[in-house]
Amino acid sequence: MFDYVIVGAGVVGLSTAYHIRRLSPDSKVLVVDRAHAPGSGDSGRSAAAFRAFFTNNVNLLLSNSSIEFYKSVEASGYDLGLRFVGYLFLADKRLYSELRDGLREAERLGLEFKVYEPGVIEDSLNVRVRVEDLEESQLVGVSDIVEGIHALKAGVMDAGKLVEYYYKAGLSTGISYAFDTEVEDLIVEPRRPLGIEGEPFPWQDLRVSGVRVRGGREIRASRKVVLATGAWTWRITAKAGVESFTRPKKRQVFSIKALKEPLRRILYARGFNSYNVAPMIILPRKAYIRPTPEEGSFWTGVSDDLGRPFELEDWDPRPEPEFYVKGVLPVISLYFPPFQEHYPHAMWAGYYDYSFDGLPVVYEPYESDLVISCGTSGSGIMKADAIGRITASLTLGLEEAELYTGETIKVKLLGLKERVTGAEKLVI
Ligand SMILES: Cc1cc2nc3c(=O)[nH]c(=O)nc-3n(C[C@H](O)[C@H](O)[C@H](O)COP(=O)(O)OP(=O)(O)OC[C@H]3O[C@@H](n4cnc5c(N)ncnc54)[C@H](O)[C@@H]3O)c2cc1C
């Protein structure tokens, strides 16, 4: 019997477990995962970029405070691979209008960003800024770059190292882990069983008292069960009549080697940061190019929304090479023609766990002793520490969570009834 059973050993589950033990050092905490090792879900498939740049003020608070926490972890001597290369939005008219709220929020928090004229980025990054005369640009529906907006508190990190950090910190504080343990069902039982055949009845006070795992074994939680199962959450909650308010959608990353000129010159672009590498580049249509200098490569991708179904294909979804050729390349090669000559040397796929408004969903349905923490909507690595603190506080029955930066936040802001207003516009 454990006090708290957390399902899911991705960044959200690991961070939640860690913060539960930090706030309640005597509690018995177990993390279970169907996979053989932590971080085997989407946390291990992420592009692992981070930015303190969102249009929603709560989202911004979550990422900003998590980034500060990650900096403190590095300052204590633990490498998370944080590189503050910045996020460079190469904005055409449409992307620029989507960025406006983000710029306002960044200014409000005093976060630094630089604005570049198109001519400046053209020279330093070797990017084609004028594309409107090209036939392809009309096809793709993009226009000239009107401005480069460089968010400075942003960059790339190593998600595997973040997983390892929370996992090892959890081990050292006495958290238990059970891998190769797939949860099939939530156990729903009356708080006060009567021992009458046919229980539970609708008038009984019910709770989620544990989980049933593959093979029929039951694991009980005396206090709460936490579902931090990312894209798979709805599959578990639906069977118990509970809504996660999130749905999974496939997302893919394609890695392009930049060993030779002229791609190499773009990868090691000078003047944007102290590492002299390109920033994380966001293009119109929200295609992205992520520098991965330790591999001498770029990771690229784009989010296809309308037409891409909400579905789970498999635990290990397959990347689609055609999607790169017909979906990603037409946008990135319009602005960076040298990409035309390269084919991905590696590719992988995972899922974004989309909420309806681009903010995480953290709530306890029906006072059931079940806490759901999901809906990271493509930015769970950069917000994992704050989400873990909020989920841990809700799990422990606290009304507020204290973030690493000292701000307190009402845990109900990520629930449903008293949820923060304003959908996030910068889900990339
Ligand atoms: C292609 C791609 C690119 C991304 N890029 C970024 C980025 O640049 N920056 C960023 O911040 N975020 C990014 N993300 C999003 C980020 O990876 C996620 O937000 C984050 O990993 C979510 O963490 P999680 O712990 O909620 O989910 P996961 O890491 O998926 O963890 C859920 C865990 O639950 C386990 N599980 C599920 N069902 C069961 C069950 N029935 N029984 C037992 N265990 C179960 C799974 O095995 C898994 O380990 C990206 C995601 C993808 C797919």
For 122-163, the DSSP string reads HHHH------TTSHHHHHHT-----EEEEESSEEE--HHHHH
Answer whether residue 57 is part of any domain. no
- Whether residues 188 and 257 share a domain: the answer is no
Q: Is the CB of 327 under 6 A from ligand 1?
A: no
CB 115 within 8 A of CB 61: no
The pLDDT assigned to 213 comes to 98
Compute the distance between CA of residue 54 and CA of residue 303 in angstroms, rounded to an integer.
17
Torsion-angle region of residue 238: left (phi > 0), alpha (psi -120 to 50) or beta?
Answer: alpha
**Helices 57-75 and 93-108, interaxial angle, to 10°?**
70
DSSP 8-class letter at 26: T
Answer whether residue 287 is part of any domain. yes
Residue whose CA lies nearest to ligand 1 atom number 10: 379
Residue whose CA lies nearest to ligand 1 atom number 25: 10
Q: Is the CB of 162 under 6 A from ligand 1?
A: no
Q: Is the CB of 372 under 6 A from ligand 1?
A: no
The pLDDT assigned to 295 comes to 95
Answer whether residue 241 is part of any domain. yes
For residue 315, give the ligand 1 atom closest to its CA. Answer: 47
Candidate from 42, 62, 414, 428 with most ligand 1 atoms within 8 A of CB, to mutate: 42
Q: List strand residue ranges (DSSP E) for 328-392, in order.
A: 346-355, 361-363, 370-374
For residue 12, give the ligand 1 atom closest to its CA. Answer: 25
Which of these three, 355, 373, 406, is where a domain ends? 355
Compute the distance between CA of residue 103 and CA of residue 424 in angstroms, rounded to an integer.
13
Rounded to the nearest angstrom, the distance between the alpha carbon of 199 and the centre of ligand 1 is: 36
The pLDDT assigned to 214 comes to 97
Instruction: Please calculate the CA angle 312-316-317 and round it to the nearest 5 degrees.
Output: 55
Q: Is the CB of 362 under 6 A from ligand 1?
A: no
Residues 6+ apart with CB under 8 A from 167: 9, 14, 38, 39, 177
Compute the distance between CA of residue 9 and CA of residue 15 in angstroms, rounded to an integer.
9
pTM greater than the 0.95 cutoff:
yes
- Whether residues 282 and 372 share a domain: the answer is no
Rounded to the nearest angstrom, the distance between the alpha carbon of 230 and the centre of ligand 1 is: 5
User: Per the omega criterion (within 30 degrees of 0), is the bond before 202 cis?
Assistant: no
Compute the distance between CA of residue 15 and CA of residue 165 in angstroms, rounded to an integer.
9
Candidate from 229, 247, 299, 371 with most ligand 1 atoms within 8 A of CB, to mutate: 229
- Whether residues 276 and 398 share a domain: the answer is no
For residue 350, give the ligand 1 atom closest to its CA. Answer: 53
- Whether residues 272 and 398 share a domain: the answer is no
pLDDT tens for each residue of the chain, 428 residues long: 899 999 999 999 999 999 999 999 999 999 999 999 999 999 999 999 999 999 999 999 999 999 999 999 999 999 999 999 999 999 999 898 889 888 888 888 888 899 999 999 999 999 999 999 999 888 998 899 999 999 999 999 999 999 999 999 999 999 999 999 999 999 999 999 999 999 999 999 999 999 999 999 999 999 999 999 999 999 999 999 999 999 999 999 999 999 899 999 999 999 999 999 999 999 999 899 999 999 999 999 999 999 999 999 999 999 999 999 999 999 999 999 999 999 999 999 999 999 999 999 999 999 999 999 999 999 999 999 999 999 999 999 999 999 999 999 999 999 999 999 999 988 99
CB 42 within 8 A of CB 10: yes
Q: Is the CB of 11 under 6 A from ligand 1?
A: yes
Q: Is the CB of 376 under 6 A from ligand 1?
A: yes
Q: What is the CATH number of the domain that holds 291?
A: 3.30.9.10
Q: Is the CB of 232 under 6 A from ligand 1?
A: yes
Candidate from 31, 32, 43 with most ligand 1 atoms within 8 A of CB, to mutate: 43
Residue whose CA lies nearest to ligand 1 atom number 49: 41
Answer whether residue 397 is part of any domain. yes
Answer whether residue 174 is part of any domain. yes
- Whether residues 232 and 376 share a domain: the answer is yes
Answer whether residue 58 is part of any domain. no
- Whether residues 235 and 296 share a domain: the answer is no
Compute the distance between CA of residue 363 and CA of residue 370 in angstroms, rounded to an integer.
8
- Whether residues 228 and 339 share a domain: the answer is no
Only one residue has tokens 């701000």, namely 407
- Whether residues 271 and 320 share a domain: the answer is yes
Candidate from 236, 381, 382 with most ligand 1 atoms within 8 A of CB, to mutate: 381
- Whether residues 176 and 235 share a domain: the answer is yes
Q: What is the CATH number of the domain that holds 189?
A: 3.50.50.60
CB 289 within 8 A of CB 127: no
SS3 10: coil
- In the chain, the amino acid numbered 117 is E
- Whether residues 404 and 289 share a domain: the answer is no
Answer whether residue 117 is part of any domain. yes
Residue whose CA lies nearest to ligand 1 atom number 37: 229
Answer whether residue 230 is part of any domain. yes
Q: How many domains does the chain have?
A: 2
- Whether residues 230 and 110 share a domain: the answer is no
Q: How far is CA 77 from the centre of its chain?
A: 24
Q: Is the CB of 246 under 6 A from ligand 1?
A: no
Which of these three, 306, 321, 355, is where a domain ends? 355
Q: Which domain holds residue 144?
A: 93-153+248-355
Q: Is the CB of 12 under 6 A from ligand 1?
A: yes
Rounded to the nearest angstrom, the distance between the alpha carbon of 267 and the centre of ligand 1 is: 27
Rounded to the nearest angstrom, the distance between the alpha carbon of 327 and the centre of ligand 1 is: 23
Rounded to the nearest angstrom, the distance between the alpha carbon of 49 and the centre of ligand 1 is: 14
Which of these three, 355, 382, 404, is where a domain ends? 355
For residue 156, give the ligand 1 atom closest to its CA. Answer: 8
The pLDDT assigned to 109 comes to 85
- Whether residues 223 and 257 share a domain: the answer is no
Please name which of 116, 125, 122, 114 lies closest in space to residue 154, comparing C-alpha atoms. Answer: 114
